[in-house]
Amino acid sequence: MNRLAREFYRQDVISVARGLLGKLFIRDAGGRLLCGRIVEVEAYDHPGDPAAHSYNGETKRNRVMFGDGGFLYVYFIYGIHHCLNVVTGHPGEGKAVLLRGLEPVRGIEEMSLNRYGRKISNDREYLNLLNGPAKIAKAFKTDLRFNGEDLCNGDFYIADDACPESFETAVSPRIGISKGKEMHLRFFIKNSPFVS
């Protein structure tokens, strides 16, 4: 797999968000590959973005967001869930892209075990496997221990799809936020059934 290089992540956050659509998010789980095609993301564009975790400056929780591009920012939310972000830009910028929806590609049975505790048994479970940020984290068995993982050097990475399908990119406001609702920073593949 051709792992994306650091410079991809060091672009502005909106370019990275758009550029991530159609790419493959991969975890090497002890030699077994878990893989999904990215179909939905959201950009968090510090400064000036009240929905970004980095809005009020660097803290212990968001410190990875303020590091270099190409690292994984994992956060814990609602006492139950984890969500995965890709840090973009350069040290000090505080920008990241949230992974919101993936199309299952590889390691589907293992991801299903992680999510449902068993194999997928119908179409609904297949469509719902990775169509939400916390679903992705659960299917990839990813928690706070992986906060700060380097996507350019380690078990988590992003790669170009060897046989990319053409698609149209759609834009909308972000989901689930209370501030910054007017900003159109959610990007997704139009007509993908794997969007949340």
Contact positions vs DNA (CB under 7 A): 42, 44, 51-54, 56-57, 59-62, 65, 73, 75-81, 83, 85, 96, 98, 115, 128, 132-135, 174-178, 196
What single-letter amino acid sits at 21?
L
| Residue whose CB is less far from DNA, 7 or 143 | 143
Tell me whether the omega of the peptide bond preceding residue 47 falls within 30 degrees of 0, making it cis: yes
Whose tokens are 């991530």? That residue is 20
Helix (H, G, I), strand (E, B) or coil at 9: helix
Distances in Å between the Cα of 125 and the Cα atoms of 66, 77, 118 are 36, 23, 11
Q: Residue 79 Cβ, how far from DNA at the closest point, in Å?
A: 2
- Minimum Å distance from CB 160 to DNA? 23
Q: How far is the CB of 120 from DNA (least distance, A)?
A: 13
Q: Smaller CB distance to DNA: residue 101 or 107?
A: 101
Least CB distance to DNA at residue 83 (A): 5
Q: Which residue has the tokens 């759609």?
A: 170
Greatest Cα pair distance, the chain, in angstroms, is 46
CA distance 173 to 170: 11
Of 46 and 162, nearer to DNA (C-beta) is 46
In terms of CB distance, is 23 or 174 closer to DNA? 174
